[in-house]
Amino acid sequence: MNNDHRVVLAGNVIVDLVIDVPTLPERGGDVIGTRTELYAGGGFNTLTAARRLGAEAVYAGVHGTGPYGELVRASLAAEGIGLVLPERSDGDTGFCVALVDEGGERTFVTSFGVDAHMTSEEAETIAASVRGGDLVQVSGYSLVMQVNGPLLSRMVAGLAEDVRVCLDPAPLVADIPAEVLDPVLARTDWLSCNAREAQLMTGMAEPREAARVLRGRLRSGAGIVVRADKDGCWLAAPGLHDIVHVPGFPVNAVDSNGAGDAHVGAFLALLGRGASAYDAARGANAAAALAVTRRGPATGPTSAELAALLGEERSTALGLT
């Protein structure tokens, strides 16, 4: 299969500070954390998932000068992920504090840095770096930003037709202004969202019906993936009238953090290898299943690990063996 198509993230890679706590503190209170981890997060998880399956992956976003920016660049380099923009000298990369209680519930506080203040010149540099055949990943987390959103929306709308745009609307999709979101939807080739996000966008709780409504919001020939966790996903593939269910893989999950990112990254990497939409979705389901068996956010599998779960016939079809 052809593996020359790059996965390009036009979004944000920030730092995650994860603290395990017995319970959330009351207003004005304090608790003692039991475990703390610091690592690259955000779009890093998607890029890593694609890279580990052999795709060339590129971060086309803003990164700052300081300890968080250095951590982001070191993490990207360790995974073999390229950069488009030079580091900004006017501030550090942002971070997200995640408090995880004993029940596994996560509470987030995000503080953005220079990554939330893209310039028009940087947006133009990103647009100029995109090649024909690239798969450009855009996240709702970036579109909701007051500065970055309009710039990325205009950039995406102007991309050449031989570039495939994938939108992951993210949990804050309801907060993205219509004047920012609508041009991106009009240019989207693949929309990948979870069931909750699909419901926010359509009012439909049932994933199949949500996919049907979303198909009407996208341009002709666009595809839709509605992720349903352990139940796999629902796929509306270009050129096919029916919306099909793609089964998931039963596993013993220990950490669901980053599973959606692993699914998106794997799906794009497999599409870039020339896989059919169904085969790419099946492989993405397997990648997400493997990701939740490991602790941490960037837990997407390697090609060999994915092949072991999928079996010889499906792995051969995906070019993994």
Q: What confidence tens digit (pLDDT) does each residue in 246-270 have?
A: 999 989 888 777 889 999 999 999 9
Which amino acid, residue 181?
Answer: L
Kindly tell me if the per-residue pLDDT of 317 is higher than 80: no
pLDDT for the residue numbered 173? 95
Average pLDDT over residues 14-31: 94
Binning the chain into helix, strand and coil, the percentages to the nearest 5 are 40, 20, 45
**Over the stretch 53-70, which tens digit does the pLDDT of each residue have?**
999 999 999 999 999 999
- Residue 146, burial from CB neighbour count under 10 angstroms (0-12, 13-18, 19+): exposed
**Over the stretch 129-160, which tens digit does the pLDDT of each residue have?**
999 999 999 999 999 999 999 999 999 999 99
pLDDT for the residue numbered 321? 66
pLDDT for the residue numbered 3? 54
Residue 190: strand pairing partners: 166, 223
Q: Return d(Cα 227, Cα 141) in angstroms, integer.
A: 18
- What percent of the chain has a predicted confidence (pLDDT) above 90? 82
**Number of neighbours of residue 84 by Cβ within 10 angstroms:** 18
- Mean residue pLDDT across the chain: 93
- What percent of the chain has a predicted confidence (pLDDT) above 70? 98
pLDDT band at 234 (very low <50, low <70, confident <90, very high): very high
Kindly tell me if the per-residue pLDDT of 10 is higher than 70: yes
Average pLDDT over residues 104-129: 93
Kindly tell me if the per-residue pLDDT of 1 is higher than 60: no
Token pair of 57 as six digits: 């992956």
CATH class of the domain whose range is 7-12+43-91+116-317: alpha beta
Model-level pTM greater than 0.85? yes
Token pair of 49 as six digits: 């998932």
Residue 202 near residue 191 (C-beta atoms within 8 A): no
Q: Return d(Cα 255, Cα 180) in angstroms, integer.
A: 33
- Hey, is 164 helix, strand or coil? strand
- Give the sign of the dihedral formed by CA 164, CA 114, CA 74, CA 260: negative
Which amino acid, residue 55?
Answer: A
Which amino acid, residue 179?
Answer: E
pLDDT for the residue numbered 258? 81
Q: Return d(Cα 277, Cα 239) in angstroms, integer.
A: 11
Residue 167 near residue 153 (C-beta atoms within 8 A): no
Average pLDDT over residues 159-187: 96
Q: DSSP characters for 15-36?
A: EEEEEE-SSPPPTT-----SEE
Shortest CA distance to 139 belongs to which of 118, 115, 164, 168? 168
Q: Tell me the Ramachandran region of residue 258: left when phi exceeds 0, alpha when psi lies from -120 to 50, beta otherwise.
A: left
Shortest CA distance to 170 belongs to which of 178, 181, 182? 181
